[in-house]
Structures are given as C-alpha cells and as structure tokens.
Structure 1
Amino acid sequence: MDEPARDPALDRGTAAGDLTRAVAFLHAFARRRAPVLRPVPGGFAVLDDRYPGSYDDNRLIIREAPDDNGLLAREPSGDNRLLAREASGDNRLLAREASDYKGLLAREASNYHRLLAREASDGNGLIVRPAPGDALERTAELLMAAADEALATRAHRLVCIDDDQLGTACAPAFAAAGYEHETNLVMVFRGPIPTSPAPAPPSPASQAAPPEASPAVSPAPLPAASAAASRGGSPAASPAGPPMTSEAVSPVASQVGSSATSPTASPTVSPASLSAGSAAASQGGSPAASPAGLRAVEVLGLEEVVAVLRRDWRESLPEASDETIDALARRAEARLRGADTVGFRGVRAPDGEIAARADLYVHGGVAQTESVFTAEAYRGKGYARTLMNALLAEAAEAELIFLLADADDWPRHFYTRLGFETVGRTHAFLRT
C-alpha cells in the first residue's frame, strides 16, 4: 500500500481515519527513504549502512501484531508463494526478498521452537494456542528476537510499534528485557489556517550543490544526549524530532530520528519553560499571531540545513567526533527521498543565524511537520510560533496535516494551542 493516503476506503476527517492515514504516511516515508528494507513479523525493518549508529535509520517498524506470533504457516505453501496477507501492504514491496516462503519463515521465525514453545503443528496451521497472556509475552519476545536478527550489526535495538493496543500490551515485556519506552502522540491539525506570507526563496549560499555523500560512520552508536527516552535529524530536544525517531530529549528521539516534534531542544529530560508568547496563547481558537518584528520564514537549501544541523549537534554533543557530527547532520539528505515534497524551512535572527528550523513533508494529500527546533540562544522569542504558522499556511491545501509529539513532554501543549488534536499514540522501545 504505497499510496495509503489516497485510499478511498479511509473515513477521512474522523480521529480513526486520520490516524490511519498519518501512520500510513509515516510507513511509506520510511520505506522510500531507506536504502534497505527487510520483512519482519508484523512489519518491516529499515537499514542504512551509511549511518549505523542512527536509531531512526536502523529500526523495526511494526504495523500490527504478528499473526500467531509470527508463525506464518497458516495456509498451504505448496507453490512457495508468499502468503497473500504477507504479500500485501508494506510487504508487497519486500516480496523480492521473500519470494520463497520457506526462506521468509527461516528469517522471521528461526527461533520458533525456543521462543514460542509450540512444538505441535500440522504444517498448515497451529494446533496449540497459548493463553492470551502468554501470547502477548511471546509476541514481545518474537519482536525482540527479530530486532536482534535485523539489527545484528548495530549497537542498538529499536522497535517502533504503531498499534497503540499492541505497544501498550508489550511494554512490560520490553521493560523486563531492559528496553526504554517512549510514547508519542499523533496530533492532527483541526484549527483555522493562520495567515502567513510564503517562505522566502533560499539564499544563493544555501542552494549550493551538495558534496559527495559522506562515508559510512563507525558501527559504534552515536552518543546519546540523555538516557531518558517513530519515524531524526536534530540534536537532543524536548520533542524536537519523531518518536524515538527524530529530535527528542531521549536517546530514542535524539538519534532515532523519531517523529516527536518540539519547538525547542534541551540536553536534559526535564520540561523546558514555555515562552511568554506560547504561555499567553489561548487554549482553543486560532493560533496567536507571530511576535512583531520577527523575520519571514525562509526556504533553506540542503547545504545550509546541513551546516545548521552540524552547529546544533555540536552544541548538544560537544565531546562527539567530527565524523559523528557530520553523520548526524548528513542524514537530512536521505529525507529528500521520503515524499513528493520535502522542504526545509527556517527563521533567521537579526544576527543572520538560523534561529528556528523545521521540515515539511507532503505526499498524497497528507502533510507532516517534523524536526521543529529552536537553537538555545534564541528560545522564548517567538521563533517557533512564527515557523509553525508559516508551515501551516504553506500546507493549507493538504487534506491532512499532522505531527508527532512526545506524550510526556510540554510541547504537546504548545501544539494544542496552535490547533492540533491528539488522535492516537505510537510506541518505541530502545535498548543500547
């Protein structure tokens, strides 16, 4: 299902329908940007050998509970074709890696007897079915085993579960195995579109052609900004990036590149203080106007974005090597493959520096704002609000506008005041 956003069967405008479209958008974006895709029980794995320490570029994405805990032998497989269920949706793209049914079974369920303790099978279906509690524990074990296999050459394990019920049910087993748990909110924009001028074109310097891709970094994990915590590219922040996948305070979000989006960043997990403008905004109705005197939002070229990312990551990780900082910044290049429209936007301070920045992804009628980040020296001055107002105005023609926010951090309140509403939750489990 490569274009799920345009599925006419989706009940658009409802919380459930918008959640389905948003999650499908995240999955499709991850598939398009990843150099390597592998099928795993209930979903797929994304891998990028150029950035082995990047959580967001090397993780498991789980859409649903594995059928019978990942054991796929529920139908005859005499013709060795991939089961129709597994060949549909996301796995249709992965069929080339799993054209042989037995090969897929070996990869996804190699520890079948050890993990599931199901010795009895007639070859076409299960004979022994466990109690519900046992099934949930075994599902978590199966997913952890899949992470061990798919991420065997990585120093981390990250499993992103985009089914709220499944993620909640598996949380105790992941915690017992030493995984950190982060919950992210899928927030959909319901408010009036603010009036904001179109972003100014990029400066000549920011339009410079990108250099050759940087060499792969060492398999060692990228240093985490903190030990606190879907679907990368900014220093550790409150929710300044995706759920264990973008720019957030936790190692999950700071290097994962999840999607939890935050207007500011902080090297610690403690909530940052809202700016005066944000705190004064009313709890409902239209977003407050951007503070007077702020410069217009600009379109940023890739090279300027990479330079700003280097600056922000160096400030957040002063002890990291230049190679690590460059790799963290260069991950932005891969985002260009994720959607039809991938834009980098920023607000420049009077001193000429980019004070706040964010990404805008648009594909199939859906728009996502991501990696909202304000540099430390410019926080509390209204830059994030100016930026968000401009992004919402730019995405006004989209049928759905959404973002991800850390469920346990303050920016979710900022987004609520802007007009966003929570429609669902996703979960990420990280072990380093």
Structure 2
Amino acid sequence: MALHRSHALAALTLLVLAAVALPAVTPATAAPPPESVAGLCTDDALDGGVEEYCEVVVRIQADGSANWTVRVDLDEPTARALAADADARHDRVRDELTRRTVVDEVANLETGVENRTLVATFTSADFAHRGVGGVFVADGLSPSTPNAQVHVHALRLAVHGPAGTQPTLVPDSAVGNERSIVWTGDADLGSQTTMAFAGGGLVGSLLTVVAVGVDTVAGVLPSVLPVVALPTLLFAGVLAGLLAVGDRLGPAETDDELAASIGLVGGVVAPILLAAGVGLFLLGTSTDGQPLDPAIFVGLALVSLVPQTLVAAGIGAVFALWGDRISLDSYAWWVFPAAAACWLVIVGAPGPNRILGTWTTTVLLFLLLGAAHERGTLGALPVALVALVAPTLAALPFLSPWGGPSYTLVFWTVGTLVPGVVLYALGRRESARSSLSESADTEETTAEAA
C-alpha cells in the first residue's frame, strides 16, 4: 500500500507542475474589432464633437422591428454646424449609426438639434422575433461581426418590449423592470446578447426557456452537425460497448492498484502531451509558407488533451489516497445520474463554461457511468445520454470564425474516451468496494481456518 501511496503523491506533483505550465503556453487569438450599440455615442463620433451625455432608447414592435431614439449632447461648434445644414446632418448621422455598430441598416431616419442636443430617431428591422409560445426573443444588440465585443458607450440604454410584455430574460450586465431592460454607465455586452419578453409569471418564464433553447439549437444545428458527427458516433460506440460488455471491466481487486496507476500514468502523460503540443505549435508558426500550417492545429489538439488527462490523473490519485473516505458504494444509484445532470447544467450554460468545462471534465462522466452501471443499467442509461451530448458542447470553438479544423475535435474525442474507459472501470470498482472487501475478508478467514 505504501508503494501505491508514493505513486499517487508523485502523480499529484506532476499534475501541479503541468497545471502551472499550461496557462503560460496557451496561444492567443486575435479578436474582431469591438462594436458599439450606437455609433453616435463613441468618443470619436462626429469628429469628437460628442460630449459626455448620451441616451439610447429602443422600443420593440410587434413585428420584431425596433424604433430607436438616440439623444447626444454636442459641443457648441458641432451643434451649430449640424443645426445649420439638415442634409449634411442626416448623412453624417447615418454614417455614424452604422460605423462599427450593431445596427446594420437604418430606416426612417429623422434628425434634429434641440439647443445642443442631437436627437436621432430611426427604425431597424429584425431586432427581435416571435418564438415558441409567443415569446419575443431579441438579439438585436449582438454584433454584426461574429464574436466581436459590444460596448454600450451610452450612459443609459433601455430596451422596451412590445405592448403587454415584460422582460423574462435579462442579461447579467443589465437590470430589468416591469417593461424594460436597462444598462447604465457604459457597460460591456460581450459578444452575444439575448433578451426575451413575454407575459409575466411562471408560465412566461418557462416559455422563455423553451423559446430561447429552440432558437439556440436551430441556430447552431446546421453548422454543428458536420463537426460533431464523427465524434458523436465514436462516443456512441464506446458507450454502447461499455453498457453491453462493461462487466468484463468490473471489479476484481480490493486494493488501490488501478487508482494509483491512473494517477501515475496520467501525471506522466500530461507533461508529454503538453511538450509535444507546444513543440508542434511553435514548429508550425515558424515554418514559412501557408499561414495555417497543420502542425499548429495538431499541436493545439495535443495541448487540449492535457486538462482532461490532469483531471483523470487527479481522480486516480485522490482515490488511491482517500478512496476509503470517498466510498462511492455508500451512495444510492440515483446520485450518479443526478450528478451527470448537474454537470450538463453547469457546462451547458452560455459563455466560456461550455468550452472549458466540457473539454476539461467530460472524463468525469465515465467515472459516474461506471459507478451507476455497477448498480444496474437503469442508473447508467441517463449518464450515458449526458455523455453523448458532450461532443456537441465541445464543438463550440470550431463554430467561431477563427476555429480550427474539425479533425482536432476527433483528437479530443479519442483523448477523452481512452481515459474515460479506464475511469469507468475505476468507477465500477469503487462502487463495489464494500462487497469486494467482504469477499476478501471471507477468503482470508477461510484460508486461516484451513
């Protein structure tokens, strides 16, 4: 037992070293230029003639269009020049409204100068649409260039829903009230802003979840299917095989040999993957010729295998050191499907959690799968279904404009399934720990009696 404990401690040391080194070698990618909600509110608008105050009010109509009102305080020379020439004012305002902003087209534009305040009203089409259950889903504040960051640049931005609705999906950076969603203080919207307006109460909230979910799936399905087809088939084949013949990987020992081996092997393999990936990436970037050398993406694919290898090794080391205290055999069978469902909720949430969480922690599902399968197929099926969704969640980086070729997702898939099968065996063994210990004690007693 002392030998296995030393193996586990050595693996933990390697894990810490690799985890510290990984952020330092992660390559950076260039992002598209940031965009503004209203171009009239930026510091360089109208040749720098905009002063501090700017207010934007957007009112969504029943047909999904939006009526905009923008109020901007100007300095004295700019206010005089714009007030004196209505045609020039109209053209300059139109140019500013569509220059690096979320507004693609401006219709029915009207402008005027009141004292030193420029007032512009216009209409933009397709700001929102009516989704499932009559919910208005609005993404009109999303950037015109995919994945660009959006800044409000106004001291106040208010988006009002159609008559008879109230906000039912409010972005984290905003505050909702009975009729509108409001941003204050030059807020950042990120690269994707979705709002929803519906009838009030629990029904409106539930319909909003369904409507936004349907829109999200419909939006990414055409582009995600070609990317995830092969990885999903590989996952399906391995999961079906484990459910069919997983008993062959069932428990056969009572000591911590398997857990310690996982920790030690994973701790050794992770730095090797990291070094090989970084080496290939540097080789690809230093090679003259095509700017997108395949070595770059193969290197990135190998680096992407490091986090989940560290997670698998950490699990092995933890069970080798403290398996008796964790005691998976003491939990009811439904705990493992519930844990898989919680994993799906956490990593399936919008934002970076989906990328980092999926690519790093999917191997955890196989530990849960093994533990649940040891209790019976009924508990293992929902865990397997959650695991089958993992390739789709992991495909998000390949849908961005600078995403790598989809074969790198296959690298991740293979690199997940290999330690996943091993963790499945560990999960079965740890879930059967009590029965194994009892069998071992019985055999030892029989031997002593003989």
After TM superposition, the score normalised by the length of structure 1 is: 0.28
After TM superposition, the score normalised by the length of structure 2 is: 0.28
| Larger relative contact order (Cα-Cα within 8 Å, sequence gap ≥ 6) | 1
**Which structure: greater helix fraction?**
2
